[in-house]
Amino acid sequence: MTEIAGRGDPIVAQPGHVEYTRLDLEGLHCSSCAPTVERVLRRVPGVRTVAVSVGTGETRVAHDPDIASIEQLCATVEAAGYGVASVNGSPRTDGDVGPAAREPAKSTSRDTDQETEAHRREYRRLMRKFWFAALVSIPVLLVAYPEISWLYLPNLFVDSSSERLIWTLFALSGVAALPVLVYSGRQFFVGAWAAFRHQSADMNTLIALGTSAAWLYSTAALLLPGLFPEGTAEPFYDVATVVTALVVLGQALEVRAKGQTSQAIRKLIGLQARTARIVRDGGEVEVPVEDVQEGDIVVVRPGEKVPVDGIIVEGRSALDESMITGESLPVDKAVGDEVVGATMNTTGSFKFKVTRVGKDTALAQIVRMVQDAMGSKAPIARLVDVVSGYFVPAVMIIAILTFLAWFNFGPAPAIAFAVVTAVTVLII
C-alpha cells in the first residue's frame, strides 16, 4: 500500500513511482476554470490524480515523473491559458523549472514571501487594468442614455442635444471602449481562446462573448441602423466597459484575498527559530536551524525558542506551549520529556537530543495541514465546480435557441430581432 507523507511534498511512493507536485497557478479566477485545468492535466499520460483549488490558486498533481515530467505539466497548464508562478514553492521564471522545483517542497518564509510578492504584483496589475476601465467607463456611461436627462452629460452644457451630437458621442464611446477590451479585458479573450482550443468553455468565454458582442452590436447599430428594427438600434458601449471593469475588480480582490492566506502561512513559519546552539567537539556552536540534524544535542537558554523537536537529556525548565496546545500556563519539562520546535523556553536551561527536523517537525506538519486545508475542496465546492462547468455552455445554448426561436417565429425583420435577443441573453 502506498503511503503519502504529505500531499504538498513531491515524494516517490512505492509501488508505482508516484510523485506529488504542487503548482501555483496564475489567472485562475473562476470556479469553472478548475474543471478545465483538471481535465487537461488528466489527459497527460502518467498523471494519476489532480486537485485544483480556485481559492488558493494551487494545483496538486500525482504523476509518474518518468512519463509526465514537471515541465510537461507546466506546458499543459500554459497551453490551457493559465500561468505557472511556482513549482513546489520554487519560483518559475521564463518557463524554466529549476532544480529546486524537483526537491521536496519545504514551507519556508522565503518561499511564502515570494508567493506573497507574486500576489501583490498580480493585484497591482489587475488594479491598473481596473482603474483604466473605470476611468473610461465613467464618461462612456454619462453619454450612453440621451433619454435620461439627469444622467446625460451634454445636458449640463446645451439645452437640447442634436442627433449629430448624440451620434458623435456614441462614436467616441466606441473608440474609447475598444482599448478597454484590448487592455483591461485581454485575459478574458486569451482564456476564451485557450478554452475553445480544448473544446471547453468557462467564465472567460462568457465574458469575452458578452463584451465583444456588446461592442460589435453597438458598432453595427451605430453604422448600419437600418438593419435593426425600430427602437433597437441603440448602442450600449457602456455595457462592455462597465462589465469589464467590475469583473477585473472582482479578480483583483480575489488575488488580494489569496495573498492574505499566504501571509497567514508566513506568520506560522515565522514562529520557528532562525538559529540553534548545538554541541560540537565539546563546545557550543550557533548554526542556522536548517543545518541541524537528527541526533544533534541542542542547548536552549532562558527566553529562547526551541528550534526543532526533540527529547530533553539534561536540565529542566518550563515551556510556553500555547502555540501548540493553547495552554496559557508554562508546562514543566524534565529529562525524558519531549519538546516541540517553536515553543518558548521561560526559566531554566536544558539540552535536548534532536528527533525531528525540517518538514517532519510539528510546526512543519501544522503548516502543511493549513496548506492542505486551504487547497482542499468541501463537497459544496466540488458541486459548484460541476455546476459552473455546465453553466457557461447552458447560457450559450440558450442564446442560440433564443436566436432560432425569434428567427423562425418572430415578427419581421426576424433576423434583426433574433440578433438583438441573442445578444441580450449573452450580455445579461
Within-domain flag for 103: no
pTM for the predicted model, two decimal places: 0.68
Q: Are residues 130 and 246 in the same domain?
A: yes
Give the residue with greater pLDDT, 385 vs 106. Answer: 385
Within-domain flag for 215: yes
pLDDT tens digits, 135-186: 999 999 999 888 888 888 888 888 788 889 989 999 999 999 999 999 999 9
pLDDT tens digits, 48-68: 888 887 666 778 898 988 888
Last residue of a domain, one of 303, 330, 360: 360
The arithmetic mean of pLDDT across residues 350-372, rounded, is 85
Q: Are residues 209 and 65 in the same domain?
A: no
pLDDT over 70 at 9, yes or no:
no
Query: In this structure, are residues 126 and 27 in contact, taking their beta carbons and an 8 Å threshold?
Result: no
* Cell (9 digits) for 393: 455552455
Q: Are residues 30 and 80 in the same domain?
A: yes
Q: Percent of the chain scored above 90 by pLDDT?
A: 26
Query: CA–CA distance from 303 to each of 114, 292, 318, 343 (Å)?
Result: 30, 20, 11, 10
Q: Are residues 246 and 354 in the same domain?
A: no
Q: Are residues 115 and 241 in the same domain?
A: yes
Q: Are residues 181 and 136 in the same domain?
A: yes
Last residue of a domain, one of 360, 378, 401: 360
Looking at every residue in the chain, the average pLDDT score rounds to 81
* Burial (CB count <10 Å: 0-12, 13-18, 19+), residue 184: buried
The CA distance from 158 to 327, in Å, is 73
Within-domain flag for 399: no
Query: In this structure, are residues 347 and 317 in contact, taking their beta carbons and an 8 Å threshold?
Result: yes
Range of the domain at 325: 275-360
DSSP-assigned states of every residue in 251-299: HHHHHHHHHHHHHHHHHHHTTS-SEEEEEETTEEEEEEGGG--TT-EEE
pLDDT over 70 at 365, yes or no:
yes
The CA distance from 354 to 358, in Å, is 11
pLDDT over 50 at 12, yes or no:
no
pLDDT tens digits, 252-304: 888 887 777 667 777 777 778 888 999 988 888 999 988 899 999 999 999 99
Helix/strand/coil for 144: coil
* Burial (CB count <10 Å: 0-12, 13-18, 19+), residue 171: middle
DSSP-assigned states of every residue in 67-136: TS-HHHHHHHHHHTT-EEEEETTEE-BTTB--GGGGSPP---HHHHHHHHHHHHHHHHHHHHHHHHHHHH
* Burial (CB count <10 Å: 0-12, 13-18, 19+), residue 222: middle
Within-domain flag for 415: no
Q: Percent of the chain scored above 70 by pLDDT?
A: 83
The CA distance from 212 to 141, in Å, is 17
pLDDT over 50 at 10, yes or no:
no
Q: Which amino acid is at 56?
A: T
User: What's the pLDDT at 170?
Assistant: 92
Specify the CATH number for the domain of residue 73. 3.30.70.100
pLDDT tens digits, 80-132: 878 887 787 677 655 555 444 444 444 455 555 666 677 788 889 999 999 99
The arithmetic mean of pLDDT across residues 31-46, rounded, is 82
Within-domain flag for 379: no
pLDDT tens digits, 225-262: 887 777 777 888 988 999 999 999 988 888 887 777 66
Q: Are residues 237 and 293 in the same domain?
A: no
Q: Are residues 262 and 129 in the same domain?
A: yes
Within-domain flag for 332: yes
Last residue of a domain, one of 304, 326, 360: 360
Task: Kindly tell me the sign of the dihedral angle through the C-alpha atoms of 40, 43, 46, 51.
Answer: positive
Q: Are residues 346 and 282 in the same domain?
A: yes
Give the residue with greater pLDDT, 142 vs 7. Answer: 142
Query: In this structure, are residues 4 and 11 in contact, taking their beta carbons and an 8 Å threshold?
Result: yes
Q: Are residues 243 and 293 in the same domain?
A: no
Q: Are residues 64 and 143 in the same domain?
A: no
* Cell (9 digits) for 167: 451620434
Q: Are residues 281 and 241 in the same domain?
A: no
Q: Residue 347 contacts by C-beta under 8 Å, 6 or more apart in sequence?
A: 302, 317, 318, 330
The CA distance from 311 to 6, in Å, is 24
Within-domain flag for 405: no
User: What's the pLDDT at 258?
Assistant: 73
Helix (H) or strand (E) holding 245: helix 237-269
User: What's the pLDDT at 300?
Assistant: 94
Residue with cell 425583420: 413
User: What's the pLDDT at 160?
Assistant: 81
Specify the CATH number for the domain of residue 300. 2.70.150.10
Within-domain flag for 182: yes
Name the domain count of the chain.
3
